Structure 1
Amino acid sequence: MTTVDRDMERRWDVFHRWQPYGLLGVGAVLSVPTAELMPGTAERIAVAVLVVVALVLQLWWGRAVRTHRGPDATSAAYYTVRWAIGFALTWLNPIFAFYVSTGYFDVNERIPDRRWRRVGLVACSVPVAGAQAGGLPFHGGAGWLLFAGLLMANNVLLTLVAHFYELEDSLSRARAESITQLESANAALQQALDENAALHAQLLVQAREAGIADERRRLAAEIHDTLAQGLTGIIAQLQVVANTPDPAVARTHVDRASDLARHSLGEARRSVQNLAPVALAHDGLPRALRKTIDQWAERADVRAEFILTGAAEHLHAEVSATLLRITQEALANVSKHADASRVVTTLSFMGDEVTLDVRDDGRGFDPMAVPERTGTGGFGLDGMRARAARMAGSLTVEAEPGYGTAVSARVPLVRHDR
């Protein structure tokens, strides 16, 4: 129930409680200047006694109504006794029809059965029509005819008022049901929004944890493939130095150990750099890719080219970082496995997506012969596929032994939030 409904119900309760006092008071006050309608002293005393009885009845009902709510047998008995007192007062003085008309206002709150409500309204209309016709009893046929016409007119009006009241009541109930349904729908919607917000937060946490796990697996693979192998080579070279008496041979192996150490140091620096795309700190993706490719070409002693097609746009940081890291992974694979003499990297802006192609003329391989490392996603092809998938993109590899390799990544074009 809304605040407006509760306020309206409170006002109706106040009206139903006090309107019988008010109408009884109106009848009592107006009965004084109309005392000539009661020529006998006995009639005046009877009116005074009935007014007192009606007041006592109202005081009793004012206390009784606190202990129960709604129409029941007690409220119906109160309605009947009040009507009888009002009928008697109206018989003695027509002005007390005001008090009888109280039954028009609270019949639904006092009589539980709908059919008896109609009887109660008709009963109230009898003394009201009698008062309108000049007062009961009538002397002559004309008075009775006038009374019959007024009684019929009153009941027609009552029927129309009751009909419109029932329509309004049904509309009110329908509105209340609609409001209840809307409140339930709003509650369900709010619950769904809360659940979606919690799910979104959970997905963000999971994505962050997955990214951390990916970086850990990538670093583990790079440490194994570069640093660990480099350290193993250094140890092997130093063992040769320790076991040979020839200074020239020892010198050669020391030089090899030094080369391996420098190479391992470079790999360690590259791994640290890949923890975060520092190349994107001050440059957009095309320029960062060009610098990365040039540095790789100088280090690997391989001819490398960078081609930009389409109008370059300022991409979202995550999209730029993903494409940069895929490029680094692809170039690292070329260094390790391809034995290539030329690499071409192409970045293409095409409508609603961005594509990255890294092609080399190396030895190639058979993609079907490479085992899938499902769920690793930390390095190599698996790592690149995982990175593209997190951006709702895809990565394909085309390779054939002796004819080089082509790695192609496609991701949605998500612009940077300015």
Structure 2
Amino acid sequence: MAVGTIEYETQPGAASFRRAMNVLTVVLLIACLGGLVGIDRHVAVIGVLLLASFAAAYGNCVVRTDERIQQLASVAVLTLVWIVLLPMLPVSVYLVFSIFFLYLRVLPDLRGIVAVIGATAVAILSQWGHITIGAVMGPLVSALVCIGIHLTLLALWKAGHERELLIKELIATRQQLAETERAAGVAAERQRIAHEIHDTLAQGLSSIQMLLRVAEQEINSTPLSEEEKRMPLQRMELARNTAADNLQEARAMIAALQPAALSKTSLEGAFHRVAEHIVGPEVTIEVEGAERQLPMRTEAALLRIGQGALGNVSKHAGATRCHVTLTYAEDEVRLDVVDNGRGFDPAAVAQRPAGLGHIGIDAMRQRAQEQGGALVVESAPGEGTALSVSIPISEEETDAPKDSYERIGETQTEV
């Protein structure tokens, strides 16, 4: 992992490691100053100036962690000063330790390793006149140790960064799951209330209107005079108008509680409306069989499953085409969503702990099971994905009149 300079400085433990390197550098500089004792005064003065320049360049590089150009310039100056020091002060070869870590710190990628190799070669060649095995192995082993420590730190920091990202993803996934469950609970409760309103309040108001209409007919068929009929008929008309107004309110409540797309259009039209908001793949929708009105809870379940499947195609599949097929059979309705995306391994996804991606598939499968249906996913890496859900429909449910929720109370039975 190529960690930039600023990122390097902010990693866990980087501050302690930096302080340790600073202490090591100070100790090495003091040792070099000790090496100047007993040599010619002019050479010693030049050596002190060079060591001071080395310390200044090192300090500037350490302090200027947010200015990369100045860091690189300081490293270049430091390297040049060290090369000049080597012939007049052999003990300065040990400063290569500080130079190694500084290279890897400022250039924490392949360039840093190449710089370390170059500094190692310079340290070995500086002892060419009296080169020994120790003179070669010392810088070489030091370089390998420094590179090993550097790579170990990068690996630890990379693992910590990935773990942090995973924790953030888990938190986001948990929040998404909680929001999805909350939304599903709200939608289920809204549908339950809509069913209750339809089966009780709306049906009762329709029955009241029908009974009042029958009562009016019976009064009109009696031998009573028009004056005697007038008051009862007026009150019945008022009662019928009141029931009609309340029935209209009940229909509005039912329309508001069912899924928004279904409240304005057929199931096929609802899928077209959903497809208009899908970004990425080209979505085509096809209906097979005789389209008919299904129970509201069945249509809502199919719509929500379709929305989830199309959302997965848009977000995760990387597909260019997606085909949606809605099939009406005699005893079931089937929804197929097929894409030409990258695909995935369903078995591997099924083995993941809950919350680690693809939670939408489990939600769709549960929604299908609540309607007595089943959901099947077929996919393989590089071969696209096919999702199929089938929901059984009883004979009584298939006979439901079209737009039944919009037509409650609009037709009355004449008795």
- TM band (smaller chain): 0.3 to 0.5
- Kindly indicate whether structure 1 or structure 2 has the higher relative contact order, using CA contacts under 8 Å at least 6 residues apart: 2
TM-score (norm 1): 0.42
TM (norm. structure 2) is 0.43
Larger Rg: 1
